[in-house]
Amino acid sequence: MFKDPFAAAGSESDPSGRSSSPLVPRFTADTSGATLHRPNAPANVSAGHALNVTSSKAVADTMAMLKDGLAEMHRKYGIHDAQLEALENNVSTIEGIYADLSHDVGVLCAENRAMIETINQCLSCISRLEDELESLHENGIAPSADGINTHDVDGQHKGIVMAGNDHDMAGGKKQRNNRLSNIVRAAMYHLIGIDSKTVPPSSLHEGVFWSGEVGDENRALRPNWETWNVNKVAWVREIVQKIQTDGMCWHSGLTSEQLQNMAMSDIEVAINSVWETMRARVKASQKSKAEHHVNKIKNRRTARKKKPASVKRSEMMFLLELKGAEYDYLFDWKYQSTDESQRSDQQGPIQSDAVSSDDDSDAPRSKTKPWISHPPTYHLAAVEPLVVRLDQQVFRAHQRSNNAQGNTYHSHIRGARAEKELPSRKGAKAGALISRSQVSAGWLAAHPVNDLPSHIAMDVEVNENENDVDDEDGEGPQIDPALQ
């Protein structure tokens, strides 16, 4: 190996042949742009430090950004949490309101059902009372002068006299009668097993009047609703004895001593009265809707007859020609014609739409179509002018009264005669029936079925001079031409 003599002592020659002597210049090659691989060369400290600084800053920025995002999310979460709590409170409030409304709706539904039931019961009672009243009128059974109802018991007309002694005063006797009726009614409801709002059950088969055996606590009375006599024989005496001994258990109107001293016949009559009422309810419940509808129409027509009859009676004093007893039927509701509304194809006088002279208003009255009255064919020709005069008087009186109130009385016109039967008034007084002299002989001959005492009263002599009264005030304000 070549040794450099100018090398420093202790130094060794470079293995590559280059001298390390300070006196011998070292040859260096230009290595710029070339990279030499030097194993186990130390790392570049500056570059690594810069890289570490850059990485730490990026991480810090990222952490800061994450912290800011997390804080924003936390803030929004707090807002959402508050909104959620508010919504939960609203839901709780709504649930409470819904529960209250549901309860109120349930209460209203229950009240509505109760009202519907009450209305149906009232309608049933009204229908029953209408049927009873119609039946009473048809059978000639009407309230007597002293206010005590009369009923047809066992085919004979007998006044129902409730419990009481002959020496009692009228007021005390009536009070005692009402108390007995209350006791009997309560006893019948209890024995049948119903209340006052329930329709009595139907009868059992023939000859059976009790449901259950003797001694059975559920044993109930089942009356026969067809005839009274079978009930009177089968169970009435037993019920009378129960009322005398246990009447205080059902109603406290009378004492036990008073019930014990009461005649059994009086209690039987009271039981019969209650049975009649229950029987009417049973019969009414068995009618179809169509029958109830027919009854309503019939009752409505009856009401439309009763009103004009009452109006005519109030004006009777102004027509001396109609003061005779033979004309009493003209003021009875059964002899009134049913008013009908004028159809569009019918021609008739319309009420004047002009305002009367004593009315300061400039507005015309509304036009109304008149109601048409159809007189019966059994009227005498001489009666028609009197009826027309009566209608004129009624029209004038109501027109004067209604003018002061700003109203207009509904006008009537007389239409064509209508074929009608004579009303039946069994048991009525002679004055309430039309007399034979007021019925057309030709019509009566053609309708012999009406020639009965229940349809025609005894003749009443007619004063021929009564029809000679002059027709004063024959024309009045707004009188229908058809009535003149």
Structure tokens at 387: 């009826």
Cα 174 to Cα 168: distance, rounded to the nearest angstrom: 9
Q: What is the DSSP letter of 343?
A: P
Q: Is residue 404 exposed (0-12), middle (13-18) or buried (19+ Cβ within 10 Å)? A: exposed
Give the model's pLDDT for residue 271. 92
3-state secondary structure at position 345: coil
Residue 458's pLDDT band (cuts 50, 70, 90) = low
pLDDT at 145: 35
CA distance 385 to 188: 57
pLDDT (mean) for 45-70: 76
Higher pLDDT, 123 or 448: 448
Residue percentage of the chain with pLDDT more than 70: 63
Q: Collapse the DSSP code of 49 into the 3-class scheme (helix H, G, I; strand E, B; otherwise coil) and give the result.
A: helix
- Mean predicted confidence (pLDDT) in 417-426: 81
How many angstroms from the chain centroid is the CA of residue 99? 28
pLDDT digits (tens, 9 = 90+) for 328-377: 888 888 888 766 655 444 444 333 333 333 344 444 444 567 778 888 88
**pLDDT over threshold 80, residue 255:** yes
Kindly tell me if the per-residue pLDDT of 153 is higher than 60: no
Q: What is the mean pLDDT of the chain?
A: 71
- What residue type is 482 in one-letter code? A
Mean pLDDT value across residues 243-254: 84
Q: Which residue has the higher pLDDT, 117 or 9?
A: 117
Q: Which residue has the higher pLDDT, 356 or 285?
A: 285
Largest CA distance in the chain: 195
Of 138 and 418, which is predicted with more confidence?
A: 418
Q: Where are the domains of the chain?
A: 179-286, 289-341+370-400+415-460
Instruction: Give 183-240 pLDDT, tens digit per residue.
Output: 898 889 989 988 888 888 888 888 888 887 777 778 899 999 988 998 988 899 999 9
Lowest-confidence segment of 39-43, 93-97, 357-361 by average pLDDT: 357-361
DSSP string, 443-462: HHHH-GGG-STTTEEPP---
Tell me the per-residue pLDDT of 107-125, one tens digit each, with 9 for 90 and over.
888 888 888 878 877 877 7
**Residue of higher predicted confidence among 23 and 156:** 23
